Amino acid sequence: VDTLDVDAYRDAVDDDTAYVHVETIGNPSLVTPDFDAVADVAHDAGVPLVVDNTFATPALCRPGEHGADVVWESTTKWLHGS
């Protein structure tokens, strides 16, 4: 769905949805979703919000403070200099 269109997330969720997934900074668009609003959509549907925070890193963004249930970062990209 369009990362910035919260209603698109709502429309895409159905009975088969296991979780809602977003990137902190979308690739390749470089836009940032409204975590709080998307978390509300996911939680209203009874599923977790999963956020890929690789690009932003926890130094710049903490999605868990904005409703994310699971946050993951690939440490090989930015955190340890590989």
Q: Which one-letter amino acid corresponds to residue 8?
A: A
Where do the domains of the chain lie? 6-72
- Looking at 9-13, 18-22, 70-74, which range is the least confident one? 70-74
How many residues appear in the chain?
82
What is the value of pTM for the model shown? 0.88
* Per-residue pLDDT tens digits for 37-82: 999 999 999 999 999 998 888 888 999 999 999 999 887 666 666 5
Given this model, what pLDDT does residue 79 score? Answer: 61
Distance CA 74, CA 54 (A): 5
User: Beta strands of 1-82 (E only): which ranges?
Assistant: 20-23, 49-52, 70-72
Quick one: pLDDT at residue 82? 58
Q: What is the mean pLDDT of residues 28-45?
A: 95
Taking the C-alpha atoms of 10, 14, 17 and 23 in order, what is their torsion angle to the nearest 10 degrees?
Answer: -20
pLDDT at position 26 is 82
